[in-house]
A and B are shown apart, each in its own frame.
Chain A
Amino acid sequence: MAFLLRRLVFYLAAFVAAATINFFLPRLMPGDPIQIMFSGAGSNLTMENLNALKLTFGFVDAPMGQQYLTYMQSVFTGDLGRSVKYFPLPVTELLARALIWTIGLVGSATIVSFTLGTLVGVMAAWRRGTVFDAVVSLLAIFSSSVPAVVISLTMLFVFGYSLGWFPNGYAADPMLDPAFSWGYISSVLHHGALPMFTMVIVLTGGFAVTMRNNMINLLGEDYIVMGRAKGLSENRVMLWYAARNALLPTVSSLAISIGTILGGSLVTEVVFNYPGLGNTLYQAILARDYPVIQGQLLIMTAAMLVSNFVVDLSYVLLDPRLKKA
């Protein structure tokens, strides 16, 4: 319990630190967002109108410390202000709208690629040195080292534009109203297919490599040798003796890589005009929509911290030594 409490305090401190960086980073960057936003209309606007606009967008000329306190208060009350670009939509509503699509896309892609990558990795390690292992290793290294942007653009070009099998944008046919109907659901699946395949290609290689390496480390262990010596079937030794144990570090690395996966979905969403968090963040940066950028970074920070906490919890469950600590 003490261990968990210590970790909780640590996470809270980490969250406050991250939120603080979120606040100061955009403000340390050169350029005043309001000045940029209205530089074209600069001489049409009197100072009075400009100040009124600044207030509307929540840019207060208060001392930095006071602004910081107001900001921290809004972070903990969940009121992230209004988007500048999508004014007057509240940031929370904008992000909630995008979050659904990202969770769907990233969630399904992660599940598919984790399952696929793990299975392939296990088999490659088990048949180490065979042609299968060589091919898998090569493909895995290739797919995890080619940038996501290249893969997504290639997919878009080949299957979207040239062959025309899949739509080139949107999360569903825009002319269909969201409904729990086969028409709408199949449209969502059809539109999500290309971005999901892209992410599966990007992610599977990494999972396969990790799993293969973990397995190889375990294959020399005595209990594997013993399992074989006892005459157990190959599959039983491979899956129940080796793979199950090799899976544990892979699962924790999965939790840690949630942040990376979210980041990786950015490129995919932008290329396929998919209305998720990545695309929203990209547009917010282009438009210097600071409230949205701040809110989004906060969500990503929170997601990272929560997934790390889940890993901590799993350690407590798996490692009896920590229960006493």
Chain B
Amino acid sequence: MALAMATAPASAQAVLTVSSEQTTTWVRNFNPFNQTSARATTKDFIYEPLAIFNRLAGNKWEYRLAESFELADDLKSISFTLRDGLKWSDGEPITVDDVVFTYDFLKKFPALDFNSVSALMESVEKVDDRTVRFNLITPNSLIATTIVAMPIVPEHVWKDIADPVAFANETPVGSGPLTEITRFTPQVYEQCRNPNYWDADSLKVDCIRLPQLADNPQVLAALADGTLDWATSFVPDIDNTFVAKDPEHNKYWFLPSSLVAFTLNFEAPDENNKKAFTDVNFRRAVSMLIDRQSIIDIAGYGYPVINEDPSMLGEFYKAFGNPEVATQFGQYGKFDLEAGTALLDSSGYVDADGDGFRDNPDGTPIAIDIEIPNGWTDWIDAVQIAMETLKEAGLNVKMSTPEESVWASDLIDAKYSMSLNAIGSAANPYFPYIRSFNPADFGKSRTSAQRWTDPEVVEMLNKYTQVKDPAEQKSIMDAIQLKVAEAMPVIPVYNSPSFYQYSTKRFTGWANADNPITSPVVSNANPGRLIQLLALEPVAQ
């Protein structure tokens, strides 16, 4: 977009132009509890978290509003200590009472509680002027990640709001670095310095400017003409379409994020398919028949990171990986057409009725329909590439492309035979595991679409959150990985890249492969973006 803002007269302010969400019109909504329609710059930038878990910088906690937290030995409570002298953007002090108020508020208005953190709390109490204690219903070693995801709001503003769910919070009073909305139109808004920010010394950016951009092509256009400094968007053929426009300044760095994996439905409506899918040898063979590298190169423009880990973790959770998995089951995660075909043969999946396709050992036919949402072109390409080798090995596969909403409800309700699925990334592999394999989630979320569970794995997962000793935690996580890898309930293909583009023309200090200070993706799912913002410095013009 060749906008006037690119050529606006230079001002004394350091203004960073950002695209963190795509929409056709800006609505002035800065309600941090609203997950679907609040502006993406609300969390972290207006409402600073108590702490941020930094997966890149050695899996360590970066303390923000809190200066520390302490998990009780019995894991039944956790205490956060706030920094001294914190102030809201309107000058009022940030106190423990605000934290207690926020949690009481969530209990009172369940629609605000976007990750159901209240359900885990027995009570939230003020210990002293700077310490707040969360008493838990069950012991939980990972509770800090859930607690810090919840924004803390000022009691003196929010206590008078009758309908906080529909509250648009147009003029926010916040705790983060950029709280003042200085311009707001349906096409652009600006969010500037908090006059009372505790960490103002680190903050070198005066304002962020958010131009409204509706879709990926529009973001690409703005990136290519140098309007944007920081963006998160899929860009096809990025070296030619973006970097080549200004190789000195236009940069990107793709980190692995959510896992994309094939699922075979353990509760497939077709009995014959179900027989095959519940056989681990069949799943292993299918996995070996999938040419992951070709999928990444052709369907993914080479952006994704290959995932050949039968325990699902792969590069993203490298720090948690159990090397035993690769030794014992690694071969089932690698593309090997011959070995896959041989495993099908030796497990009895041969063509019994002479129709040219392999059948179950008992002679019943297998006919797999791979369901993919209409219009998800990269996934459709990926499935087509997989189908070539699956067909070559004699499997009867076809693809169907229903509308996205149909696909999603088919996966949730287990009314499909095979599909690709995406499993979101989290701070700890505990989360993808429990979301995928917890039988209580069946029929509730797409992550459990394969409908596989194992009481032993679930028990170990539950135990994992109830031990404090890191060594003991590690040994449990190692054991879970071996169990999962052995059963191979999902077939990992790759980890999607999290898209991140930046320009060094106006600002420096960007995270990249040589400077991996944090995950720098600017979408509101990544609190690490706050660390990135504070690391930026304007280039002298």
Q: Which residues of A are in contact with B by a Cβ distance under 8 Å?
A: 29-33, 35-37, 39-46, 48-49, 51-53, 55-56, 82-89, 94, 97-98, 161, 164, 167-178, 270, 273, 275, 279-280, 283, 288
Contact = CB atoms under 8 A, between A and B. Distances in A.
A84 B412 CA distance: 22
A174 B221 contact: no
Interface stretch (B112-120, B303-311, B393-401, B476-484): B112-120
A123 B5 CA distance: 47
Interface stretch (B24-32, B51-59, B97-105): B24-32
A198 to B, nearest CB: 17
Q: Which 9 A-B pairs have the closest CB atoms?
A: A42-B445, A31-B405, A52-B111, A174-B187, A174-B188, A87-B37, A52-B110, A88-B166, A44-B115
A45 B165 contact: no
B34 interface: yes
Contact of B37 (A30, A84, A275): A84
24 contacts: A30-B403, A30-B409, A35-B409, A35-B412, A36-B405, A39-B412, A45-B115, A46-B119, A51-B110, A84-B36, A87-B27, A88-B29, A89-B27, A89-B29, A94-B27, A167-B3, A168-B1, A169-B221, A170-B212, A174-B185, A174-B187, A175-B5, A273-B218, A283-B23
A39 B421 CA distance: 12
B5 A174 contact: yes
Contact of A48 (B2, B3, B110, B408): B110
B24 A49 contact: no
A178 B184 CA distance: 12
A36 B113 CA distance: 18
A82 B406 CA distance: 24
Given A31-B409, A43-B448, A273-B213, A175 B3 contact: yes
B438 interface: yes
B447 interface: yes
Nearest to B166: A88
B444 interface: yes
B186 A97 contact: yes
B441 interface: yes
Contacts of B188: 174-175
Contact of A85 (B36, B115, B186): B36
Nearest to B119: A46
A241 B189 CA distance: 57
A80 B193 CA distance: 38
Given A30-B405, A35-B412, A283 B441 contact: no
A161 B23 contact: no
Contacts of A88: 29, 37, 165-168
B1 A167 contact: yes
Contact of A45 (B116, B424, B447): B116
Nearest to B37: A87
Question: Which of A31, A32, A84 neighbours the largest number of chain B CB atoms within 10 Å of its CB?
Answer: A31
B4 interface: yes
B210 to A, nearest CB: 10
B214 A86 contact: no
Nearest to A177: B185
B221 A161 contact: yes
A44 B37 CA distance: 19
Contacts of A85: 23, 36-37
Contacts of B167: 88
Interface in B174-222: 185-188, 211-215, 218, 221
Given A36-B408, A87-B36, A168-B2, A43 B438 contact: yes
A322 to B, nearest CB: 44
Given A52-B111, A275-B25, A280-B24, A170 B36 contact: no
Nearest to A274: B24
A214 B115 CA distance: 65
A244 B175 CA distance: 69
B186 A82 contact: no
Given A31-B408, A164-B2, 12 more contacts: A32-B409, A36-B408, A41-B35, A46-B116, A85-B37, A89-B29, A169-B218, A170-B1, A171-B187, A175-B5, A273-B213, A280-B25
A283 B24 CA distance: 7
A221 B336 CA distance: 80
Contacts of A176: 4
A288 B424 CA distance: 21
Contacts of A43: 434-435, 438, 441, 444-445, 447-448
A28 to B, nearest CB: 12
B445 A39 contact: yes
A175 B9 CA distance: 12
B1 A169 contact: yes
B409 A279 contact: no
Question: Which of A30, A89, A172, A270 neighbours the largest number of chain B CB atoms within 10 Å of its CB?
Answer: A30
B115 A41 contact: yes
A173 B4 contact: yes
B109 interface: yes
B113 A49 contact: yes
Nearest to B221: A168
B446 interface: yes
A98 B187 CA distance: 12
B8 interface: yes
A169 B25 CA distance: 12
A40 B115 contact: no
A30 B373 CA distance: 13
A149 to B, nearest CB: 13
Nearest to A164: B2
A52 B441 contact: no
Given A31-B405, A174-B3, A42 B25 contact: no
Interface in B302-345: none
A255 B528 CA distance: 55
Contacts of A56: 111, 165-166
Contacts of B215: 273
Given A29-B405, A37-B36, A288-B405, A175 B8 contact: yes
A51 B109 CA distance: 11
A35 B109 CA distance: 20
Contact of A44 (B111, B116, B412): B116
Contacts of A87: 27, 29, 34, 36-37, 166
Nearest to A282: B24
A49 B2 contact: no
Given A84-B37, A87-B29, A175-B4, A49 B110 contact: yes
A31 B446 CA distance: 13
Contacts of B408: 31, 35-36, 39
B111 A42 contact: no
Contacts of B119: 46, 48-49
B37 to A, nearest CB: 4
B474 to A, nearest CB: 24
Question: Which of A32, A53, A178 neighbours the largest number of chain B CB atoms within 10 Å of its CB?
Answer: A53
Contacts of B24: 273, 275, 279-280, 283
A273 B1 CA distance: 10
A48 B118 CA distance: 11
Given A36-B409, A37-B36, A45 B214 contact: no
Contacts of B218: 168-169, 273
Interface in B94-152: 109-111, 113-116, 119
Contacts of A53: 111
